[in-house]
Amino acid sequence: MNGDTYDIPARVREGSTSDIRSIDDWRRAYLDCQADPDGFWLDVTRDLVEWRAAPTVGLEGDYRHIKGGPFTWFGDGQLNVTETCLDQHLEERGDKTAILWEGDEPGDVRRLTYRDLHAEVCRAANALQAMGLHRGERVIIYMGMVPEAAVAMLACARLGAVHSVVFGGFSAEALRDRVRDCGAEFVITQDEGMRGGRTIPLKATTDEALEGEHGVKKVLVLKRTGGDVGWTEGRDVWWHEAVEGASPDCPAEVVAADHPLFILYTSGSTGRPKGLVHTCGGYLTYTAYTHRTVFDLREDDVYACVADVGWITGHSYIVYGPLANGATTFMFESTPTYPDAGRYWDMVQRHGFTIFYTAPTAIRALAAQGDDFVTKYDRSSLRVLGTVGEPINPDAWIWYHQVVGEGRCTIVDTWWQTETGGIAISPIAPATAPKPGSATRPMPGIEPVLMDPKTDRPIRGPGQGLLCIAQPWPGQARTVFGDHDRYVATYFSNFEGLYFTGDGCRRDSDGYYWITGRVDDVINVSGHRMGTAEFEAALLHDEAVGEAAVVGFPHDLKGQGVWAYVVLQAGERWSDDLEQRLHKVVRSVIGAHARVDVLQPVPGLPKTRSGKVMRRILRKVAEGHADQLGDTSTLADPAVVDAIVEGAKGRHG
């Protein structure tokens, strides 16, 4: 299990200072970083990142002064991230495959070498520049999983522009919100996406999102399917017309280390999604370092992360980390079950993946289909198996290890968040002895603190509490776009001087960490993070709805399901039609990936006398623990609870 039983090919950059090959190496690196974080990260970044002006300073600022403005890393450094991801590889790895892509149909494959990718990024950057894109301006990327999505991201970075990728499953309304929030002047999309044999109307949704007020000047449209699309003359530009003829050379715009690289929207407990800002130097350093370290990257690896670039996993571990490291990175357009549940393992056999990274929800879904879909394919190339997105239950871990990895591969259960930029707590493949279900130990630079919610004090030694982190690290998001106060209020106001993650966590007597899940009003459905407030706001779009309260509940396959309690307006009646309408409104306000599992009509919500909804009670009922409601004596109307408990019966699936 520790990687000693097979031949070890050359590592990427032999003998790098950042190699961790044993638990002693990890301990040394961890302690070095703790003793001198600036020295540690300056060494790492000089080793892994191509700087135009190498930084001489590490961290400036801290959590205690976060109100006054973001902390910075590598303040005097200057770079363009694409020179690390592309240019530096041209000499040694020009003919190496940078992006290996498989489309929706099995066997529909494209390969872009580092030379191809460099040229394509430069062409796209030149095209965008000719269309008027400047440094610092925001570009929304609303695409499926095509190589051009990565090209678009890197083309923005080449120009010092700031991309914000919006997952292709989001609705027009969600897209519009993001376009407006970040003040985007450009949108890059495609005619249609392809997924599981179905088309996704990306251009049509973009058109709908751009009805009404916005600052978008140009929409660049990749032709993926050739399907019919609407066209706005003067605004819309075909990718092939603008990009193909452009020059394959484009000078990289040199920016300061803390220049924003991208904004990525993510859901929180309250309000609208927040646009987290990641920066060039720190983010790239951290993703490059964690990618090579955690996965034990080797030069000839075929590395496959099957996430979507619409989420942080795709940014950090499909695009930026792997390309910075000169790896072959896989992009996958389809789903794990198209055409059948053997798709991943069929691709392992055909492409020879050595590292495979997916989410527990996919592992559970595939395990439920039986082992034959796995065992009929040759998986002998696999060496490291990763998981991310939600706690992995030991059964799923063991299935992944025994059946997929033939008991031979190392499993890395990587805990991190959009906010952390990269992996924060995780085994390091060649070093850490795993325990199924535990994210194990922190990466160098990550100082976890478990806070006791009852005493507001840190827990020493084994125990369970709220997971915080004590010190900034280079990959950490710096602010919320346009709303630094919200960043401070969300992450730094719970505990003085600590970053609060929103997760609960247990530490065992070996110092291993076990994430227990969100402790706030965020639900994690199939690894997709959604705010209960967003569902509630969506349901309230329907006139028949007076009040709504949404909570998560444990779900065998999805990790968490979505349970909505709905109070109708006076005079409205519950019906199948209404139920369908409510499902539809959630889909149209948030997106196709957002679905309420249980819609329960209730006569009222349990509220305190001061009018606060007691979500604890609603959670207990949804979890099927109506017998553990605790103290309900502060409720304004205790009878409401009886009706809710009664109405919930038989809805637990």
Please give the residue ranges that form the binding site for ligand WT7 (CB under 6 A).
266, 311-313, 388-391, 413-418, 439, 501-503, 515, 517-518, 524, 529
Compute the least distance from the CB of residue 314 to ligand WT7, in Å: 9
Compute the least distance from the CB of residue 229 to ligand WT7, in Å: 30
- Closest CB to ligand WT7 among 264 and 403? 264
Compute the least distance from the CB of residue 392 to ligand WT7, in Å: 6
Residue 613, SS3? strand
Q: What are phi and psi of 583, to 5 degrees?
A: -60, -40
Q: What is the DSSP secondary structure assignment for residue 70, as one 8-state letter?
A: -
Compute the least distance from the CB of residue 442 to ligand WT7, in Å: 13
Cβ–Cβ < 8 Å for 128, 151:
no
- Closest CB to ligand WT7 among 185 and 534? 534
- Closest CB to ligand WT7 among 137 and 296? 296
- Closest CB to ligand WT7 among 353 and 500? 500
**CB burial of residue 629 (10 Å; 0-12, 13-18, 19+):** middle
Question: Parallel, antiparallel, or unpaired: how do β-strands 463-469 and 499-507 relate?
Answer: antiparallel
Compute the least distance from the CB of residue 247 to ligand WT7, in Å: 36
Compute the least distance from the CB of residue 415 to ligand WT7, in Å: 4
- Closest CB to ligand WT7 among 224 and 529? 529
Compute the least distance from the CB of residue 35 to ligand WT7, in Å: 28
Question: Parallel, antiparallel, or unpaired: how do β-strands 274-279 and 479-480 relate?
Answer: antiparallel
The per-residue DSSP string of 10-53 comes to PBTTTT-TT---SHHHHHHHHHHHHH-HHHHHHHHHHHH---SB
- Closest CB to ligand WT7 among 155 and 446? 446
Neighbours of 447 (CB within 10 A): 18
Token look-up 């990587």 returns 414
Q: What angle do CA 451, 452, 455 make, to 5 degrees?
A: 120
Compute the least distance from the CB of residue 593 to ligand WT7, in Å: 12
- Closest CB to ligand WT7 among 260 and 427? 427
Residues 653, 644: Cα–Cα separation, whole Å:
17
Residues 351, 349: Cα–Cα separation, whole Å:
6
Angle separating helix axes 576-589 and 532-539, nearest 10 degrees: 120
- Closest CB to ligand WT7 among 222 and 261? 261
- Closest CB to ligand WT7 among 391 and 434? 391
Cβ–Cβ < 8 Å for 131, 242:
yes
- Closest CB to ligand WT7 among 121 and 304? 304
Residues 304, 482: Cα–Cα separation, whole Å:
35
- Closest CB to ligand WT7 among 113 and 432? 432
Question: Does the N-terminal peptide bond of residue 339 adopt cis geometry, omega within 30 degrees of 0?
Answer: yes
Compute the least distance from the CB of residue 528 to ligand WT7, in Å: 7
Compute the least distance from the CB of residue 307 to ligand WT7, in Å: 8
End-to-end CA distance of the chain: 38
Compute the least distance from the CB of residue 426 to ligand WT7, in Å: 7
Q: Which two tokens stand for residue 231?
A: 């066209």
Residue whose C-alpha is closest to residue 310's, from 276, 362, 261, 264:
264
- Closest CB to ligand WT7 among 175 and 640? 175
Question: Parallel, antiparallel, or unpaired: how do β-strands 559-568 and 545-555 relate?
Answer: antiparallel
Residues contacting 123, CB < 8 A, separation 6+: 243, 244, 246, 247, 248, 250
Residues 552, 539: Cα–Cα separation, whole Å:
16
Sign of the alpha-carbon dihedral angle for 402, 403, 408, 414: negative
Residues 497, 469: Cα–Cα separation, whole Å:
9
Cβ–Cβ < 8 Å for 587, 562:
no
Q: What is the DSSP secondary structure assignment for residue 492, as one 8-state letter?
A: S
Residues contacting 428, CB < 8 A, separation 6+: 20, 26, 293, 294, 296, 412, 443
H-state helical runs in 492-604:
532-539, 576-589
Compute the least distance from the CB of residue 263 to ligand WT7, in Å: 14
Compute the least distance from the CB of residue 53 to ligand WT7, in Å: 31
Integer angstrom CA distances of residue 530 from 163, 182, 596: 21, 20, 11
Compute the least distance from the CB of residue 390 to ligand WT7, in Å: 5
- Closest CB to ligand WT7 among 58 and 445? 445
Compute the least distance from the CB of residue 437 to ligand WT7, in Å: 9
- Closest CB to ligand WT7 among 216 and 305? 305
Beta-sheet strands, E only, within 201-272: 218-222, 236-238, 255-256, 260-266
CA 205 to chain centre: 22
- Closest CB to ligand WT7 among 260 and 391? 391
Residues 330, 88: Cα–Cα separation, whole Å:
20
